Structure formats: C-alpha cells, structure tokens
Structure 1
Amino acid sequence: MTNIPETGRTPRVQIRLVIIQVLVFSLLLTLGGRLWYLQIRQGHEYAHAARSNHVQRVVQPAVRGSILDARGVPIADNETRLVVSASRTELMRIKDRGKAVLTRLAGVLGMNPQDVMDKIRLCDSKTPKPCWNGSPYQPIPVTLEATTQQALTIRERPEDFPGITAEPTAVRRYPAPGGARTAQVLGYLSPVTDDEIQKAKDSDSPHLRSDQVGRSGIERTYDKQLRGKAQVTSYEVDNLGRVMGQTQSDPGVAGSTLVTSIDARVQAVAEYELAQAMKTVRNETDKITGRKYEADSGAVVVMETKTGRVVAMASQPDYDPNAWVGGISGQDYARLTSKNSNYPLLNRAIQGQAPAGSIFKVVSASAAVRAGYPFDNKYNCSSSYSLGSRSFANFESKGHGPITLGDALKFSCNTVFYALGHKEWQRDGGLSPKKDAHDWFYRTAREFGLGSETGIDLPNEVTGRIPDRHWKKSFWEANKDAWCREGKKGGTYVQQIAYENCLEGNQLKAFDSINFAIGQGDVLVTPIQMAAIYGAISNGGTLYHPIVGKASIGPDGTVEEVKPKVHAKLPVDAKTVADLDKGLQSVVEPGGTAAWRFGGWPQDKITMHAKTGTAQVYGKQTTSWLATYTDDFTIVMTISQAGTGSGASGPAVRNIYNAMYGLTMEGKPTGKALLPKPEAKLPTVQPDGTIQAPEVKPYVPPTKEELTPGLAGPPAPPRHLQD
C-alpha cells in the first residue's frame, strides 16, 4: 500500500478553506450591507410602513332601545329599512377612487352624484356637512330609504357596484300613536361629536364614532340605557387598507327598553286640545288692543298628583321628530331654529317662562298665613288699591267687600293681595329693610319650589325667577350701565323706566311687592313648576320631582324601576293646605272664576279644583293660565297672548278631563274613559322580550252638539268671572 505524504494535500485544503472563508465573508458583507440599507438608508420608510400595519375597529352599533308609554305602546322604536351603504376602503382601491361606481349608484337611487360622494367623504375641521364622522373602515350609509327595486338592482349587479351593499337595517322611528307626537318630551338623535368622544373617553360609557346620541328630551336623559353596547370587531390592516386578519371581537348588547309614565292616548288629547285652543282664540278680538289674539305659543302638563309622574306634556309650536332620522336637511333645520317658526324645539312646559298671574295667589295666600294673617279673617276686596298717586285696579275694577282668603281665591280678588303684599313690605322695613326682615312672600315662593328647577328628568329645564331683594341688586349691577345710557328723564315710557332703574333699580319698592303678590312684575314661572305646586296642594303638601321615566327593562328582562322622589314639603301646615284646597274647589262652583267652564261637572263624584290666571306682559297681549286638579291628576295649561285664564284655556282643559274620565259635558259617563285612575302596573314583558302593545285610536274631539250651551257659543260671562 502506497502512503501519500500529508504535505501533499495541504495546498488543496488551504485553497478550499480560503475559498470558503471568502464566500462566508462575502455573504456576511452582503448581509451587513443589506441590513445597513434596510435599517439605515431605508429605515424611516420601512418604519413608516410598519406603523401603517395597525389594528382597525369595525363597529356594529347596538339596536337602540324602544321608548314606551305607560301601557307599553311604542312612542319611539326602530323599524327595518333598506339601507344602501358604501365601503370607503374598497372604493379607494379603485383607480378613480370609486367615482364611476358612485355615479352609477346615484343614478339607481335617483340622487345627485355629488351628493352621494359628499356623504362618504370623511369629516374634518375643513369639510362641510354632509360628511362621515365615523370610522372609514365600516360601511357608510348613503340612503336609509332605498326601495326594494333599487336594492335588487344593486345586489344583482355586484360587478357594477363593488363596495356597495343594500341591507335591511334597524333605523330610529317616532310612530306618533293616535297622533301623539310627544316631540319635545322624546327629543331626537344625531351623530356624536369629537368633543363628546373625548369627554366620555374615560367614563364607564365611552362613545364610539358610529354612535347616535340623544340631543334632547328623554332620548338624552336616558341615552346610556337606550344606547346599549356596540359590537366591536378588531382587524389588522396594512398600509394599503388590506385586512391581514381578525384580532378580537367584543359582542354587543342591545339597548334597554324605557317605559315612561306618558299615556299616548292622553298625550294625543292634550296636543290636540292645546293646538285647537290656540287656533280658536286667534279668531277672537282682544278688547284691550283691538287686534286678534296672537296665541303664539303654549304648553300643557298632565301629572299624577300623588307621585309627580307626567302623564302628558305638550308644547306648541311642535314638530315631527322624524325630521332628524337619517340626518336633518338644512331646510328643516333652518325651519326648526328660526324666529319665524317661534322655535318649536323648545319644550315650553319646562323652558317657557312667564308671569304667573292669579294662579300665583295660592303662594301669596300661604305667605299671608305664615306672616300672621288668618285664612278665615275678612280682608277688603275693593275695586282698586291706592299707592301714593298710583292706583292698582282689581280685574275689571269690581269689588266684593270684606272676604276671606278662600273667597279671594274664588273671585281672584287682586286688591286683597295688593294690600297684604304692601303691608309685609312695610313691616320688613320698606326701602330700608330690617336685618331680620322675614320677606314672607318671597321666602314662601322659593320654598314652594319657585326660582329653582323642579328636577324633572328632562334636560335644559329653566329656573324661572323670584325677584327678591337679592335679585334686584344683582340685576341692577348687571344692567346699570345700559340703563344709564338709555334712560332719559321725561322721555318715552321705556326711556323713563330706564332712567328710574339707573338711579334706584337696586331697591325693592312698594309696587314691586304689590305686583309680586298677584304673580306679576318681574316674577317668572314655568308650567311644570305650577303643576308641581298644585299637585302638592292636592296630595296634602308633598312636592314631588316631576318624572317621565318609569322603568328600564334590559335585554335580559331585568327591570329597574324609576321611583318617584320627594322634593320638599310645602312650608305651611295641614290646615292651611286644607284651606287652600277648599278655596280652589270654590273656584269651579257658582260665582267662581272657572264655574262657567265646569258647568255640569260631577263635583260630588270627582271633586274639581281650579285657579284661573291672566298675566300681563309689557308690549304683549295677556297670557292665559289655568291650573286645576282632582284627587288623582293635575292639569296646568298656559297660552301666550291669548287673553283670560278660563276664556282661552278653559275649554281645552275641560275636554282633557272629559276624555280621561269618560264624561259628557253634562257629567254623564260615556263608557270610554281613557285614564280614570293612574296606571299603576308596568307593561307585561313576554318570554321573548317583546311587549304586547294595546291599540291607540286617534282622538275624536267632541262635536258642537256634544258641548253644553255654556261652552258652545253663547255669550261669555262678565270678564271678572274669567280671570
């Protein structure tokens, strides 16, 4: 065997090793160079691309909960509509960014192509509406009202409409059962704003960009319960908008159903009768101005006396809340917010302020008793009351001689309260108030709940105004400069008033307290405040927070009741409450100012109480007020620039009671009572979560033949019986 020397193989091995080393070094050099190129030279571009691979959330909004009346009738619910939507992500991948597709879609829907394109553009600070404020990764609604044929056309030609869907979707609806719009009570929805998203970011109910939120009414108050929880699916998306995969899915929860204390049948009656009363009085001539009454606005509240639950609440002018569904048009929005339409979005039952007129006298009578004037003592009801060179007349300048405070309510005698208000002003020190001044009239008004919110579960309630010494001073400080500029001694009436206010507008003068005692001057109240007060007199002295919500029923059937809450007790004893009750009962009995409107009422079976009021407002016609109650219900109505209390509001209030109790004008039962007693039970929820709603028939107003002679058209009684 031949041995090969080891040294003979060494050169070849070394050459191979060198070659391998060179290759390895070259590979390492190439790899290093590539890494340098990717990380250093192109690093910022790839970092940007990596950041563009992120997670996007697609939101499927929860079905908003229905709003029901006390018997389970839907007054706000959802209906299935054919909704055509566009996927912005898919359209942006097309060469022309979807312009041709959207143009074809506009042709099918009968819309302007530019309008369709505007709907899917994204909102920012520079983009005017319409635009999309939600996520660009979810379908954007183009129309909520597609026809079946339009939907079929889109679905049968997917090649012509990439990124376009036509699907049945739940959309908010306000069905107005029996004609009851309940507009201002319900409110409306609109898309959430960026500010609202930021504010709610750390709360237990954060907003999503796709959310529709309540803007007013109970849609706003109970928005959290009604909105539910949206289903959110997270996708990983690259910088081209391509979905890389699903990362997470949070299931949604449907919104709860809200049961209210509103009775749709009574609501329909209240809305109709208020509107009809305003229409009727516009045909009558105001004897003071010689013009037809304007009757430009009004409100009515029907409330349970023992709980504060609101059975009906109407405000005029009103509107159709369906105008907001799917986005309100510019024309409709301008109409709802314009001065010419007199702002129908306002709920005048809680936002309308006016002097109370004579319905305020229950407060003044209570204040007088607290100040030491016995209810049953005799007080002179003269035809006028003099203060220096000024004379304050009784209504129609009629006197009744010495009468009790109960009779002062019955006849609505101004001069009795003028004198009491003046005496208390003097006892408190007049222009130089005592340090321990009782201010019984102003103090009592505040303790009756006036000058502050009632706490009703509706947004934007106003407080009204009690013009006591503190208010006079603060109001003078805020307006002094303007008064001093505009005022002129011996000038026009307005200039003279401004001149006097400039000099001494911070003083509570005698005539301020005289006017205050009959609910005039600078005092302002709301219908809901007065309904709470008269309800408290009816129930024995308990002021309740008025309330609309009654119960929330979750999608799993759990029920959370909204309990009535006591606000306060009237600041008078039980005897005074009973005296007030008796005096208000006499108002509807012979000789009382409301008797001519309640002729034939079955007083022995359903005791009626009332107080009429006619408030004077500078530069306007008088405002009509009528406050009434039985053992179970309180009804307060007011109509601006409509004349006297019983004259304008009387027929409407009587018709509402007749419908509720099922009575003819002669007081005979019709067998068709809508609500003789408050609704105590909640609607029955079926095992599948649905509620069997009873039918609500449209309200049929009484005919002229059904009205009594005292209401149908014979001459009205003297004006001193109409205050």
Structure 2
Amino acid sequence: MAVTGAERSRLRLLVLRALVLTLFLTLFARLYYLQVVGGEDYQAKAADQSVRDIVVQPQRGLVVDDMGRPLVANRLSWVVAIDRSVLGKLDQDERTKLVARVATAAGLRPARVEKKLLDCGSPDAESGTCWNGSPFQAVPVATDIDRAVALRILEQPEDYPGVVVEQQNVRSYPAPFGVNLAHVLGYLSPITEEEFDRATEQDDRSLNGASVVGRAGVERQYDEWLRGMPGYRRVSVDSMGRVLGDDSEIASTPGDTLVTSIDAKVQSVVEKELARSIATQRATVDKVTGRRFEADSGAAVVLEAKTGRVVAMASQPTYDPEVWVDGISAKELSRLYSEKAGTPLLSRVTQGQFAPGSTWKPFMTAAALRNGYSRDSRIPCGSGYRVGNRTFKNFESGAYGVIGFAKALEVSCNTFFYSIGHDFWKKFGSDVDDVDARDPLVEGAQEWGFGSETGIDLPGEASGRIADRAWKRAYYEAQKKYYCGIAKKPREADTSDFLHRFAREFCIEGYAYRAGDAVNFSIGQGDTMVTPLQLAVGYAALSNGGTLWQPRVGKAIVTPQGEVLQRIKPKKAGKVKSTKAQLAFIDDALKGVASVGTMSWKLGGFPLDQVPIRAKTGSAEVYGKQSTGWVASYTKDYVVIMMISQGGTGSGSTGDSVRKIWETLYGVEGDRVVPRKAAIPGTTPPAKLPTFADDGSILPPVTAREKKAGGKR
C-alpha cells in the first residue's frame, strides 16, 4: 500500500521529535551529573583555580660564637617577586612595560630582572641569578627594596599585575667587632635540579624548589641542622594573580642554632693583624729581588692546644659574604674565582698549600730522635752543605760551628738538617730506582698528620703533599709525555733555556729521588706542601704532649627554644710515637727560639716568664717567587700560626702581628699580664655554652663565679 506525502511528513516529524527528546534527555542527564552527582568535586576544582599554594621558607638557624654573639643571623627584607603565570597572559608590549616598571621601582636594569625570571638550565640563564624554584611560585627579582617603594607597589596593584611584595627573612652578617669570617661561615645558593630530585626521591621535605642550601663553610657542613622545615600558605587570587586574602597556612619550623668555638673578639684582631702585615710587606722592598714584596695572600689560625677547637681563622684575600644574599651575578662570581684578584673564594687556612720552610724542622727533629740520633748529637752548622756538585746554603742563619738540635732549632740552621736528611738517604735510599726505600723523615712527617686531611668540620679541605719517592714516581709518570715532548724538539723562541734544560733532565730521570730531594725535604723545601691548619695541628700536638686533634669549628647544635640537641665534642685523630722526654726536649728548644733565637727580636719586652711562648720561624723559597714567611708559635693553651705568601722572612713579615695576637689572648700590656684585659674572660675559652634565654636573647656562658652567686651577671 502506497505511503502518501502527508504520512511521510508526519513520520519525519516523529523522528525529529524523538531525536530532540533524546538530546534533551542526554543534556539533562549530563547537567544532573555535573550539578548533583559530581558537583562537590567540580566545585573544589573551581576553587583550586582561585587559590595558590605558596611555600613559606623557614627562618634559617643562627650561627653564634662561643660567647653567643651572632655571626650569621636573619633580617626582614622587603622582597619583590613576579608571578610568571600572570606575566604569560600579557601581550609582549604589556609584559615589557611591566618588567621595566618593576625594574625602575627596584632600582635595577630591566635586563637583570629578565635574567632572574629565566629558569636555570635555559640557554641564557646565569648561575646564581636564574630561578630554580617551582614554576607556580612568584620569582623574587629584588631584595632589600625601600619600604616606601614596597608600599607604593602594594597600593597600585592595577599597575603591577602579578607582582607580589612581602617581607621575607634573608641572611645577615652582624660582624661583631667588625669580623669578616667569610671562609668559615660560607654562603648559600639556590638548590640545583639534581639536589631537588634527590631530595624528592628521599622524601626529604626540608627541601623544595625554592630552597637555598649551604655551599661552603659551616653553612654547608651543618646545612641539615640550619635549614629548618618549610611551611605552606594557601592564598586566594583573582584572574590577574592578585592576592585577595589567606585561605589556610601550615607554619614553617625555624632551623637550629650552631654554636661555634670561634671567639669574635680574637677573630677581629687576627683578621686585622693579618691584613696589616700584608699591607706593610707590600710597602716594603725585598732586598733579594730589589722590588716590593708581592704579599699576594696570607693565612692565620688560632687553635686550642688541648682540644683542637678553632678560636680564630683568617684568610686573605677575602670577600664580603653579603654578596650572595640577593643572587650573585656572573661578573661577581668570576671575580671570586679570578687568579688576578687572588682567588678570594679560596681559604688559605684549609685549602692553601705552601712549602713550610723551617717550621718543618721540629718534626724532622722528632723523627731523627726516634731513628738513631740523640739529644746529645752534635753536627756541624756551616754556611753551606755539599751534595754532589751543588752546595746547599743556609737561608736565615750563618755558620755556628758544631752544635746540637736545640741550637739548630734556635738559630734555624739549614745545614744541620741537610746533614741528617743526607745521612738517612745514604743509609736507606741511595738506590734512586727503589720506590719503596725506607725514609725515617718521611715516616715522621706522616706520623704527625702531614700529607692527610686534618678532618676539620669545613668542606673542601686540602690534604697537603709529602713529596716522597712514591709521589715523585707518580708525578713523573703523569708529566713524562709533556716534558719529553719539549725535550725532543729544538728549543723554540717562546721556551726558556731553563725550561728546555729542565725538560731534558726530567725526561731522562725525573723519577729519581736523589740526595738533593732528601736534603730539601729535611728543611721543608722542594715539592712538599702543607696547609696552615695542618701545621697548627702539628704544633698543638707539640704543646699537648703528642695528641693530634681533628680541628672543630662547631661546638653544639641548639634548638630555637634553647634545648641542646647535640654537643660536638673534640675528636682525637692520633697520637705521635715520640716519647715525653723527646717532646719536652723539642718544647724547650722552641722556647729558646722565642727568647734568644730567630723570633726573639720581635718579642723584646714581652713577659715570657709569665706567658712562655714557644716559636719557630720559617722562610720557604719558591722558584720564581719571593719567599713565603711563617711564624708557628704556641703556649700550653693556644697555637698561633701566621704566614704570608711572597712576604719575606717569617719573623720579619708576621712577627709583630703574632705578638699582637698573643697580647690579645693573655691581656698583655707592655711587660705585664693583666688577665682582665684578655680577649676571652678567664683567658681560656669557656667550657660551657652560651645561655639561651626564654625571650630569645643569647647571653655569654655563666662563669663559675656567676654560678656561685646564683647566676647573677
């Protein structure tokens, strides 16, 4: 039966109505699901788009000296940050204008602000300037802006979309008594991507993408204690990233306080005296070279002789630790590593390696006394000592006839010790091919800790170098190809006669440990190197009866509430094998150096009867450079070491400053000792820790007298 046109129209209408009804029912079902079934979930997601999580960085722990004086603290600083998610919503012209506006307000160049906004790892990023934190967090672009500028930006949010201004804690350096202490304190820099990934894997919640971590000094060594635990703040924002108000907050936990053994008053004097001696030598003409001393670097350290604790430590050249606070530029960083500027970032106390010169002789004496020589041994002290076709001469002394060890140390007779070094070489090591030949002087040096790290609680310590047969063989194998390459070619115009001749000799027999090497070793010359800290540890052992201590800067870890979490106790590194009688003999001889020997002209009128100083001077010759001057000295309480590279003789370059340090330590005025004038109350460092009061203040340790009086100061 045929379907009429009217029926077909009705059928199409029914299908269309059914389709519309189906679509309506589907839409209704979807709306019902969104609003009723999944409403709460979507409502929460919508709310999430209007709130932002901000990491609240914890206040980093303090670093204080032995009296509780703050060496590193925190201060509130107005910080300007830019939210890059808002910045990305602006067109290029608006973005450029906003960055320029912020830069002008903060007193910066727009290009520097742009660099701070770059992610670390991007092609144009600069280390120390780029952003290494979360992409969802505002990037700090200016620190320490004026309060008036901060308020102006806050009052004009329409002109500064996505710009966050708030007060944050940044590192500060109170510098009690004007101390610098940069190489001990260290510095901070942003966490790297690798460090952040590692912290995430280890579920270390104390670190986040915006954290700063210690890179040197105690900031690095005790970073885990100092860094604290971050908190989180949720804030409501509008579509332009402007903060509307707080939503919720999890408070951060401040870091712990590090109490050090440094005494700021002593540190101040040590720093000033080192700088003064360097300045004096740079203005003094070297009679050997006919030009002024370069005095290119120097170091000084004061240790507690009985414990190895560091009381003061100074290195020159130095730098201002504040330079790291607002992010260091590539230019500033380059200067810190620059050899032309003296490599200020290098700590000469723990990382500088220098020939010890005659300060080495007490340890050679100890080795000789343990290997066949006696306190009564007598050896000629002539003006020169012949080895083969070469005469090795005295540097600081003339000829004194036949003398003993005590006199040899007193007048610093090189030829006396040349004879001992040559004697052991002939007895045990005349076969230059025998790498394993015995050498009592090398064994003695190693016994006193030289050639190894001291174990100080500061990162990056150098180990020094014992230039024995094994070292010389290894050096030859490493350099043979280079020097033999020079030796095989005719001398070129840019190659000196000396270098070409040296290359030929080195290529043929650079591995050979000859008699000349042995006699040089006996007086701390040649390729042997020590750090000033290693020398201080050795002299501390001479003072305390032979115990080698691992030096310590840290003394205790204390919570912000004043609870002692950990006491950092001195740790023994070893004990020398010299007998008490041998050590007493050397000790008495070094007392003579201070009273009538090479240091006596700098100690005239000093009350040695009340403060019996022992000392040894040294002047290490370095090929192509001026002499390195040393003074090593100690009492029963302290060790004081000072040296200046290319500064001349030991006592001549540093003697006055070493005396001033001793006067400071014991309260010496003229020829009298006035204990109440000593830099440290009671003359020696306090055994107790500073007192942490309930109001947050830190007071000096309570003395025995104060404790007896009921704690009254």
TM-score category (smaller protein): 0.7 to 0.9
Amino acid paired to 1:545 = Q
Alignment of 1:704-723 (within 5 A): none
Give the aligned partner of residue 338 of structure 2: 338
How many pairs does the alignment contain? 665
Q: Give the Cα–Cα distance (whole angstroms) in 2 for the partners of residues 90 and 393 of structure 1.
A: 75
Amino acid paired to 2:666 = Y
Give the aligned partner of residue 582 of structure 1: 588
Are 1:254 and 2:254 counterparts? Answer: yes
Q: Give the Cα–Cα distance (whole angstroms) in 2 for the partners of residues 158 and 242 of structure 1.
A: 7
- Evaluate the alpha carbon distance shift between residue 162 and residue 396 of structure 1 in structure 2; reply closer, same or farther with a 3 A threshold: closer
The more displaced of 280-289 and 413-422 is 280-289
Q: Give the Cα–Cα distance (whole angstroms) in 1 for the partners of residues 348 and 417 of structure 2.
A: 28
Taking structure 2 as the reference length, the TM-score comes to: 0.86
Are 1:187 and 2:179 counterparts? Answer: no
CA offsets per residue over residues 79-104 of structure 1, 9 Å max, x none? 11222223333444456675544443
Q: Give the Cα–Cα distance (whole angstroms) in 1 for the partners of residues 558 and 97 of structure 2.
A: 47
The more displaced of 630-639 and 201-210 is 201-210
Amino acid paired to 2:385 = Y
Amino acid paired to 1:578 = A
- Evaluate the alpha carbon distance shift between residue 22 and residue 154 of structure 1 in structure 2; reply closer, same or farther with a 3 A threshold: closer
- Evaluate the alpha carbon distance shift between residue 682 and residue 574 of structure 1 in structure 2; reply closer, same or farther with a 3 A threshold: same
Task: State which of 116, 122, 132 in structure 1 corresponds to 2:113.
Answer: 116
Alignment of 1:262-301 (within 5 A): 262-301=262-301
Q: Give the Cα–Cα distance (whole angstroms) in 1 for the partners of residues 107 and 178 of structure 2.
A: 31
Q: Work out the percentage of aligned pairs sharing the same amino acid.
A: 46
2:594 match: secondary structure: coil
Are 1:685 and 2:692 counterparts? Answer: yes
Is the CA contact 1:299–1:527 (under 8 Å) kept in the aligned structure 2? yes
Q: Give the Cα–Cα distance (whole angstroms) in 2 for the partners of residues 372 and 274 of structure 1.
A: 40
Is the CA contact 1:632–1:678 (under 8 Å) kept in the aligned structure 2? no
Give the aligned partner of residue 599 of structure 1: 604
Is the CA contact 2:411–2:593 (under 8 Å) kept in the aligned structure 1? yes
Give the aligned partner of residue 663 of structure 1: 668
CA offsets per residue over residues 254-280 of structure 1, 9 Å max, x none? 111111111111111111101110111
Q: Give the Cα–Cα distance (whole angstroms) in 2 for the partners of residues 30 and 238 of structure 1.
A: 34
Is the CA contact 2:67–2:699 (under 8 Å) kept in the aligned structure 1? no
Is the CA contact 1:411–1:587 (under 8 Å) kept in the aligned structure 2? yes
Are 1:412 and 2:412 counterparts? Answer: yes
Are 1:70 and 2:69 counterparts? Answer: no
Q: CA deviation at 1:644?
A: 0.5
Q: CA deviation at 1:187?
A: 1.1
Q: Give the Cα–Cα distance (whole angstroms) in 2 for the partners of residues 562 and 56 of structure 1.
A: 42
Are 1:307 and 2:313 counterparts? Answer: no
The more displaced of 291-300 and 105-114 is 105-114
Task: State which of 564, 567, 572 in structure 1 corresponds to 2:573.
Answer: 567
1:500 match: secondary structure: helix
Give the aligned partner of residue 210 of structure 1: 210
Q: CA deviation at 1:190?
A: 1.2
Q: CA deviation at 1:466?
A: 0.4
1:348 match: secondary structure: coil
- Evaluate the alpha carbon distance shift between residue 230 and residue 402 of structure 1 in structure 2; reply closer, same or farther with a 3 A threshold: same
Is the CA contact 1:205–1:224 (under 8 Å) kept in the aligned structure 2? no
Q: Give the Cα–Cα distance (whole angstroms) in 2 for the partners of residues 84 and 435 of structure 1.
A: 64
- Evaluate the alpha carbon distance shift between residue 313 and residue 677 of structure 1 in structure 2; reply closer, same or farther with a 3 A threshold: same
Amino acid paired to 2:686 = E
1:487 match: secondary structure: helix
Is the CA contact 1:428–1:434 (under 8 Å) kept in the aligned structure 2? no
Are 1:85 and 2:81 counterparts? Answer: yes
Is the CA contact 1:664–1:670 (under 8 Å) kept in the aligned structure 2? no
- Evaluate the alpha carbon distance shift between residue 32 and residue 508 of structure 1 in structure 2; reply closer, same or farther with a 3 A threshold: farther
Alignment of 1:362-381 (within 5 A): 362-381=362-381
Give the aligned partner of residue 177 of structure 1: 176
1:262 match: secondary structure: coil
CA offsets per residue over residues 204-233 of structure 1, 9 Å max, x none? 646311111111111111111111111145
- Evaluate the alpha carbon distance shift between residue 247 and residue 504 of structure 1 in structure 2; reply closer, same or farther with a 3 A threshold: farther
Q: Give the Cα–Cα distance (whole angstroms) in 2 for the partners of residues 296 and 615 of structure 1.
A: 15
Is the CA contact 2:599–2:617 (under 8 Å) kept in the aligned structure 1? yes
Is the CA contact 2:644–2:654 (under 8 Å) kept in the aligned structure 1? yes
Q: Give the Cα–Cα distance (whole angstroms) in 2 for the partners of residues 95 and 419 of structure 1.
A: 83
Is the CA contact 1:538–1:581 (under 8 Å) kept in the aligned structure 2? yes
Task: State which of 125, 129, 135 in structure 2 corresponds to 1:128.
Answer: 125
- Evaluate the alpha carbon distance shift between residue 134 and residue 247 of structure 1 in structure 2; reply closer, same or farther with a 3 A threshold: same
Give the aligned partner of residue 624 of structure 1: 629
Segments of 5+ residues of structure 1 without an aligned counterpart are: 1-14, 36-45, 695-723
Q: Give the Cα–Cα distance (whole angstroms) in 2 for the partners of residues 672 and 102 of structure 1.
A: 57
CA offsets per residue over residues 408-438 of structure 1, 9 Å max, x none? 1111111111111111111113125779843
Are 1:327 and 2:340 counterparts? Answer: no
The more displaced of 225-234 and 521-530 is 225-234
Q: CA deviation at 1:659?
A: 1.5
Give the aligned partner of residue 438 of structure 2: 438
Q: Give the Cα–Cα distance (whole angstroms) in 2 for the partners of residues 465 and 634 of structure 1.
A: 22
Q: CA deviation at 1:240?
A: 11
The more displaced of 379-388 and 484-493 is 484-493
1:395 match: secondary structure: coil
Give the aligned partner of residue 609 of structure 1: 614
Give the aligned partner of residue 197 of structure 1: 196
Q: Give the Cα–Cα distance (whole angstroms) in 2 for the partners of residues 397 and 300 of structure 1.
A: 25
Are 1:464 and 2:482 counterparts? Answer: no
Q: CA deviation at 1:670?
A: 8.1
- Evaluate the alpha carbon distance shift between residue 446 and residue 490 of structure 1 in structure 2; reply closer, same or farther with a 3 A threshold: farther
Taking structure 1 as the reference length, the TM-score comes to: 0.85
2:442 match: secondary structure: helix
Q: CA deviation at 1:21?
A: 12
CA offsets per residue over residues 91-123 of structure 1, 9 Å max, x none? 444566755444433343343344434433444
Are 1:221 and 2:218 counterparts? Answer: no
Is the CA contact 2:691–2:700 (under 8 Å) kept in the aligned structure 1? no
Task: State which of 553, 556, 559 in structure 2 corresponds to 1:551.
Answer: 556
Q: Give the Cα–Cα distance (whole angstroms) in 1 for the partners of residues 533 and 599 of structure 2.
A: 21
Give the aligned partner of residue 635 of structure 1: 640
Give the aligned partner of residue 383 of structure 1: 383
- Evaluate the alpha carbon distance shift between residue 117 and residue 435 of structure 1 in structure 2; reply closer, same or farther with a 3 A threshold: closer
Amino acid paired to 1:575 = A
Amino acid paired to 2:648 = G
Give the aligned partner of residue 37 of structure 2: none
Amino acid paired to 1:161 = Y
2:577 match: secondary structure: coil
Q: Give the Cα–Cα distance (whole angstroms) in 1 for the partners of residues 625 and 382 of structure 2.
A: 27
- Evaluate the alpha carbon distance shift between residue 27 and residue 279 of structure 1 in structure 2; reply closer, same or farther with a 3 A threshold: closer
Q: CA deviation at 1:513?
A: 0.4
CA offsets per residue over residues 126-161 of structure 1, 9 Å max, x none? 242343221132232221121121122122223333
Q: Give the Cα–Cα distance (whole angstroms) in 2 for the partners of residues 441 and 54 of structure 1.
A: 75
Is the CA contact 2:308–2:551 (under 8 Å) kept in the aligned structure 1? yes
Q: Give the Cα–Cα distance (whole angstroms) in 2 for the partners of residues 397 and 271 of structure 1.
A: 31
Give the aligned partner of residue 505 of structure 2: 500
- Evaluate the alpha carbon distance shift between residue 575 and residue 160 of structure 1 in structure 2; reply closer, same or farther with a 3 A threshold: same
The more displaced of 606-615 and 122-131 is 122-131
- Evaluate the alpha carbon distance shift between residue 653 and residue 251 of structure 1 in structure 2; reply closer, same or farther with a 3 A threshold: same
- Evaluate the alpha carbon distance shift between residue 677 and residue 162 of structure 1 in structure 2; reply closer, same or farther with a 3 A threshold: same
Q: CA deviation at 1:537?
A: 0.5
Q: CA deviation at 1:239?
A: 13
Is the CA contact 2:118–2:125 (under 8 Å) kept in the aligned structure 1? no
Amino acid paired to 1:112 = R
Give the aligned partner of residue 34 of structure 2: none
- Evaluate the alpha carbon distance shift between residue 597 and residue 397 of structure 1 in structure 2; reply closer, same or farther with a 3 A threshold: closer
